[in-house]
Copies of this chain bind each other. A is one copy, B any other.
Amino acid sequence: MDVRNDLQAYVERQLPQYLPKSFHSRISDINLASTVNEAVRGSTIVQESGPENLSFKTQLWEQVEQYAPPGALFWTSTSGIPASLQNAKLKDKTRLLVVHPFNPPHILPLLEIVPSPDTSEWATQQTLAFWRARGREPILLSREITGFVAGRLAWALLREAIHLVDQKVVTVEQLDRILETSMGPRWAYAGPFKSFHTGGGPGGMAALFENVGGTVQKCWDEGGKVNVGDGWEQDVFRQVMEAYGQPSLRERDRANKSVLEAVEREKKRSDHGQPEVNFTNM
């Protein structure tokens, strides 16, 4: 029981800073459980965030199914193991699906929703509705894919970033500053397709590719093909540790939240009919 008391004290100490004031009084409603039965009986949603290990997860879901009510949704926050593998030992495979948040999960709105081929439409729609009602951004992927979408995009960019640092074109800190002063602010407001479309002027993304398609293809052809374990790790991890040490989670959380609010505010602001700049009206 000592561990449970320590954990309870930790939750009560740390959780308030992540929650709006109106939720603080409800923190004492949290029940910590030391058996699966105790944890999931009477539940409507079972959220699994255990170790990233397939046999752990299949065994856990088998137990959960024994004790959870038949109508409960089963969600996994895995960043890589699809529901179609995790459901191996379930009798009812229709209610398990991936609900993948993005770090820091209490701030960033994204949830990648990835049903298995066995997941029912009902379970998927209940999940989407739950998060939409809470102001989050659940995005339904049409099918399972390694790393889902956000991860694949981030790792693709990171591979090129590692290559450029490995080739000593820039340092780790320079590379981060490049993102922070260009694509970061840009993509916080408009993802890559909208951004490149806007950058192409009236002809949009098609016009952009007319102009720069050759350079783009050359970048793709010459792109870095580093692999995990290739040997870049030592220098890159050392540079990262020297540059950042122990970063402030509180500053990160505040900044991410503040960026999201800034974008929402500007999107809602009316232009009161002021004429738009139009580069074709000269």
Contacts and interface: CB of A to CB of B under 8 A. Distances in A.
Contact of A149 (B159, B164, B214): B164
Interface residues of A, number: 124
A153 B141 contact: no
Task: Tell me whether chain A's interface is mostly helix, strand or loop, or mixed.
Answer: helix
A235 B54 CA distance: 37
B266 A254 contact: yes
Can you tell how many copies of this chain the complex includes?
A: 2
B156 A256 contact: no
Interface string A144-159: 0111011111111111
A191 B180 contact: yes
A249 B277 CA distance: 7
Interface stretch (A42-50, A85-93, A215-223): A215-223
A102 interface: yes
Contacts of A214: 80, 228
Interface string A164-193: 110111101111111111111111111111
Contacts of A184: 183-189, 191, 259
A263 interface: yes
Contacts of A4: none
A256 to B, nearest CB: 5
A240 interface: yes
Contact of A209 (B102, B228, B244, B259): B228
Interface stretch (A6-14, A33-41, A63-71, A115-123): A6-14
Given A146-B218, A193-B236, A255-B262, 13 more contacts: A10-B282, A17-B277, A79-B212, A102-B181, A110-B177, A152-B164, A157-B192, A177-B191, A193-B239, A197-B241, A204-B241, A250-B274, A259-B263
Interface of A: 6-7, 10, 14, 17, 52, 79-80, 102-103, 107-110, 112, 137, 139-143, 145-147, 149-161, 164-165, 167-170, 172-199, 202, 204-206, 209, 211-220, 222-223, 227-229, 233, 236-237, 239-241, 243-244, 246-252, 254-256, 258-263, 265-267, 269, 271, 274, 276-277, 282
